């Protein structure tokens, strides 16, 4: 069932996203924070579709909080991508692209999300601060690089290796270091993990038990805890993908 987005007040985008704000020269940052506002939308968990009319001048939606997953299926096989804080997306763009393959796609909100609508007004506003446009473009490129790493991960033969790698990949983006390891503060079901590593859910459950038995990954209250070092193969894959992706 499609969920309905609940609108929230206008927000100061550069206060909400500190990394974006830091891209502006310090001498102009205060003015940019005051001027760069956008409408915000709260999105509850569940299946989601963007219902607003597409603004041709809009940059997209900037994820301020929460976690979403985009799943694409072709001929019974599917791939998935996690999108979270700091990512930029344009869900209306999918409907505008000509289809040469019979693909279906859907968005699902895994954790209540809040997005800033970077509409045409915002686009014209940041013309005064070109460094913001560069930073947002960098975010879009980085998202494509993460997908390249994901593609390399799902080509690993063993499912337990794929899971170990994808958890470390998520830790590199959203992880938090603590005394006993690195936490990935994302609640992911075995079904969602199966989508991310291109495996069947029962196989994923078995592989997760193996990782837990080895003491390298286990569930905790707010997500996952990783101990030790990232897999050596993952370090090589990650480095190579980041260097070569467009």
pLDDT interval class at 2 (50, 70, 90): very low
pLDDT surpasses 90 at 34: yes
Over the stretch 78-96, which tens digit does the pLDDT of each residue have? 889 999 999 999 988 875 5
Over the stretch 200-225, which tens digit does the pLDDT of each residue have? 999 999 999 999 999 999 999 889 99
Q: End-to-end CA distance of the chain, in Å?
A: 36
Specify the pairing of strand 60-74 against strand 88-89.
antiparallel
The dotted CATH code for 6-152 is 2.60.120.10
**Long-range Cβ contacts of 189-197 (<8 Å, 24+ apart):** 192/69, 192/80, 192/110, 193/163, 193/166, 195/69, 195/71, 195/78, 195/79, 195/80, 196/80, 196/82, 196/150, 196/166, 197/153, 197/154, 197/159, 197/162, 197/163, 197/166
pLDDT value at position 97?
59
pLDDT surpasses 70 at 99: no
The dotted CATH code for 158-244 is 1.10.10.10
Q: How far apart are CA 139 and CA 5, in angstroms?
A: 24
Q: How far apart are CA 21 and CA 38, in angstroms?
A: 14
pLDDT interval class at 51 (50, 70, 90): confident
The structure's pTM equals 0.84
All structural domains of the chain with their residue ranges:
6-152, 158-244
């Amino acid at each position: 069932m499609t969920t309905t987005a609940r609108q929230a007040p206008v927000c100061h985008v550069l206060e909400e996203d500190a990394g974006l704000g830091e891209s502006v020269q310090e001498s102009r940052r205060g003015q940019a924070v005051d001027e760069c506002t956008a409408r915000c939308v709260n999105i509850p968990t569940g299946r989601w579709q963007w219902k607003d009319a597409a603004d041709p001048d809009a940059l997209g939606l900037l994820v301020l909080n929460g976690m979403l997953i985009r799943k694409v299926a072709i001929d019974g096989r599917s791939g998935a991508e996690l999108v979270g804080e700091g990512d930029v997306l344009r869900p209306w763009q999918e409907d505008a692209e000509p289809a040469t393959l019979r693909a279906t796609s859907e968005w699902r909100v895994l954790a209540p999300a809040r997005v800033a609508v970077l509409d045409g007004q915002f686009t014209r506003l940041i013309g005064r601060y070109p460094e913001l446009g560069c930073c947002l473009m960098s975010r879009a490129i980085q998202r494509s690089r993460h997908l390249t790493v994901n593609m390399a991960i799902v080509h690993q033969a063993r499912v337990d290796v794929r899971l170990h790698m994808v958890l470390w990949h998520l830790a590199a983006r959203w992880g938090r270091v603590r005394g006993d390891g690195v936490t990935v503060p994302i609640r992911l079901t075995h079904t969602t993990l199966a989508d991310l590593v291109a495996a069947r859910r029962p196989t994923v459950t078995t592989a997760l038990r193996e990782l837990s038995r080895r003491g390298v990954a286990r569930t905790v209250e707010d997500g996952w805890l990783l101990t030790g070092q990232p897999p050596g193969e993952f370090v090589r894959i990650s480095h190579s993908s980041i260097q070569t992706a467009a």
